[in-house]
Amino acid sequence: MTKKPRNEELGDFTATLRMAPIAALAAGIGLLAAVVAWVLLRLIAFFTNVFYFQRFSAANANPAANTLGYWSILVPVVGAVIIGLMARFGSERIRGHGIPEAIESILMNGSRVEPRVAILKPISSAISIGSGGPFGAEGPIIMTGGAFGSMIAQLFRLTSAERKTLLAAGAAAGMSATFAAPVSAVLLAVELLLFEWKPRSLIPVAVSSAAAGMARHWMLGAGPIFPVSQQPEFAGPLALLGCLLAGFLAGLAASLLTMAVYAAEDAFEHLPIHWMWWPAIGGVVVGLGGLIFPQALGVGYSTIGDILAGRTTIVLIAGVLIVKSIIWSVSLGSGTSGGVLAPLLMIGGALGSIEALVFPAEPIGFWAIVSMGAMIAGAMRAPMAAVIFAVELTHRMNMLLPLLVTCAISYSVSVLLMKRSILTEKIARRGLHLSQEYAVDPLELLFVREVMREEDAALVPTLDVTAFPDEPLRAVVYRMAEAGRATIAVVPRDNPGTAIGALTLQAMLQARTRHMEEERDKERVLRFPLPFARNEA
């Protein structure tokens, strides 16, 4: 009788009770991130009042309502000069929109973020947006929330992986508190920051996001951020065909915007002046654009609300698609501080407003919603987060199906047209590489018994490092790396003093080759005889 392999010690997940204290820390980080989000939003309102209305107030203010006339051109320039000085003499890491910097901290710095970044980033972003910068607050809040998560993690004896989890927890909490979108915040953390789907990281991030969402209810309101009219219970075939085209157009637009941002960055790189002055040049472009189309200034949540409510004109749509796109691309390329989500939402909504003129008739806001989600999916390469994000922003659950179609198509267009996203391109330009594809390691699926060589058992000189036949290869390869061995003995569990085979790194590579063949080799498995086909001998 053949002895069955022992797999009792193997589980679907690698969770331990260590999750509990990490989740507890994450809950506290979530509450703190909600406070940080509230403070940043108030700072933005304060600087908007100071720059555009010359008053000390933290009440919400719209820079488009200013009466400065031509003097308004100088406001973004002044704000940009201040940011350049803060970046030069404070911390260069406050430049940019936040998420790439959070990713880089995870990849290169062991998820360690300097405390001064947690202070300077929200202040610089508030000055940038308050002085008319065409950005959203979410990127800086994500970076700031992640920075506070990292700082708290550094106070305890934790691994780099645990610090990464708490950094992502703070980032997710920041987004959850800003947009009242706790579920999409978790998905965004998974798709952009965690680089894994494991209980040890997903659970603390979910706890942190939920805590921030709960705190937001009392501090900023429950949402939705963008109320829209009732949408159809079911989008029919014609609407879904329109969604296919909307997704294609959004993916194309997202790719063009990404190229525009980095074309602007390349242009600034060629200037014969220090990068500290680049934001000021970008500020001139912002000021001129704001003079032509004031709604392009600042966060623009009210403009997004108007688009979703159908309160649009040709001037508004053209202003968003042309002026907002240009000043956002140039100013972001200049290295100033600000986020990308709100501008992408606005531009996607304007694109949807144009589509509503020619696509199948649907309730007001339908095409704007699906195009907003598709723009996020195409630009940030986070399709599932984009689907849920659009639903949480509007509280229209029946939009899930059309959003799934548009986001999937936009995502596919984007990944085919561009190797990297608006987030990962910046990381690549710093000499790093990030893969956003998640799959089970083939070494996790294969066991030692499948690749060991029994005939080489006598060639292994020592039994100080061994493997069991029923162990997965991934566990063993770590052991070999720690011991610095290219070959180890395979021993039975009931007689560990006797080698029954040898496992080599070459055998590990052969296991990888088997996986490559599954990806590459094509074959027809089922063959049906065709009628009237001639049988050949």
231 belongs to a structural domain? no
303 belongs to a structural domain? yes
5 belongs to a structural domain? no
| Helix, strand, or coil (residue 466) | strand
DSSP state of 249: H
Measured in degrees and rounded to the nearest 5, phi and psi for residue 531 equal -65, 145
525 belongs to a structural domain? no
Sign, CA dihedral 492-497-503-505, equals positive
| Whether residues 349 and 446 fall in one domain | no
* pLDDT reported for residue 111: 72
Helix (H) and strand (E) counts for the chain?
22, 3
| Whether residues 141 and 81 fall in one domain | yes
| Whether residues 213 and 98 fall in one domain | yes
* pLDDT reported for residue 98: 66
Average pLDDT over residues 244-252: 97
Helix axes 160-179, 138-154, angle to 10 degrees: 140
436 belongs to a structural domain? no
* Distances, alpha carbon 166 to alpha carbons 87, 97, 158, 162, 371, in Å: 26, 20, 10, 6, 32
Amino acid at 91: S
Average pLDDT over residues 339-347: 90
Q: Which of 489, 507, 501 is nearest to 451 (CA)?
A: 507
CA 353 to chain centre: 26
Q: What is the pLDDT of residues 467-490, one digit of tens each?
A: 999 888 888 888 888 888 889 999
Average pLDDT over residues 405-434: 85
Distance CA 163, CA 46 (A): 33
More confident residue, 215 or 512: 215
Q: What is the pLDDT of residues 345-388, one digit of tens each?
A: 999 999 999 999 999 999 999 999 999 999 999 998 899 999 99
Least confident of 39-43, 51-55, 146-150, 202-206: 146-150
| Whether residues 295 and 193 fall in one domain | no
Helix axes 160-179, 383-394, angle to 10 degrees: 30
Q: Give yes or no for residue 307 having a pLDDT over 50.
A: yes
* pLDDT reported for residue 215: 93
| Whether residues 295 and 363 fall in one domain | yes
Distance CA 49, CA 132 (A): 11
CA 395 to chain centre: 21
527 belongs to a structural domain? no
CATH number at residue 395: 1.10.3080.10
Max Cα–Cα distance, the chain, nearest Å: 94
| Whether residues 187 and 331 fall in one domain | no
Q: What is the pLDDT of residues 208-228, one digit of tens each?
A: 999 999 999 888 887 788 989
| Whether residues 366 and 456 fall in one domain | no
More confident residue, 121 or 23: 23
75 belongs to a structural domain? yes
Q: Give yes or no for residue 527 having a pLDDT over 80.
A: no
On the question of a cis peptide bond just before residue 224, with omega within 30 degrees of 0, the verdict is yes
Question: In the predicted model, what is the mean pLDDT of the chain?
Answer: 87
Q: What is the DSSP string of 129-148?
A: HHTT---BSHHHHHHHHHHH
Query: Which of 365, 400, 428 lies at the terminal end of a domain, its last residue?
Result: 428
Q: Give yes or no for residue 102 having a pLDDT over 80.
A: no
* pLDDT reported for residue 8: 58
Q: Give yes or no for residue 412 having a pLDDT over 50.
A: yes
* pLDDT reported for residue 534: 57
User: What's the CA angle centered on 161, arms 181 and 197, to 5 degrees?
Assistant: 50
Question: 416 lies in which domain range?
Answer: 237-428
When divided into structural domains, the chain yields a total of 3
9 belongs to a structural domain? no
The pair of structure tokens assigned to 40 is: 């940043």
Least confident of 111-125, 128-142, 230-244: 111-125
Average pLDDT over residues 425-450: 76
| Whether residues 35 and 158 fall in one domain | yes
| Whether residues 447 and 396 fall in one domain | no
User: What's the CA angle centered on 292, arms 290 and 295, to 5 degrees?
Assistant: 50
* pLDDT reported for residue 531: 61
| Whether residues 202 and 325 fall in one domain | no
- Band of pLDDT at residue 85, cut at 50, 70 and 90: very high
| Whether residues 77 and 189 fall in one domain | yes
- Band of pLDDT at residue 255, cut at 50, 70 and 90: very high
DSSP state of 502: E
- Band of pLDDT at residue 1, cut at 50, 70 and 90: very low
- Band of pLDDT at residue 84, cut at 50, 70 and 90: very high
* pLDDT reported for residue 292: 94
- Band of pLDDT at residue 270, cut at 50, 70 and 90: very high
Average pLDDT over residues 88-107: 75
* pLDDT reported for residue 515: 65
* pLDDT reported for residue 2: 46
- Print burial letters for 155-166: b (CB count within 10 Å at least 16), e (below 16): eeebeebbbbbb
CATH number at residue 470: 3.90.1280.20
* pLDDT reported for residue 97: 66
Query: Which of 402, 428, 454 lies at the terminal end of a domain, its last residue?
Result: 428
| Whether residues 378 and 475 fall in one domain | no
Q: What is the pLDDT of residues 146-192, one digit of tens each?
A: 888 888 888 888 888 898 899 899 989 999 998 899 999 999 888 88
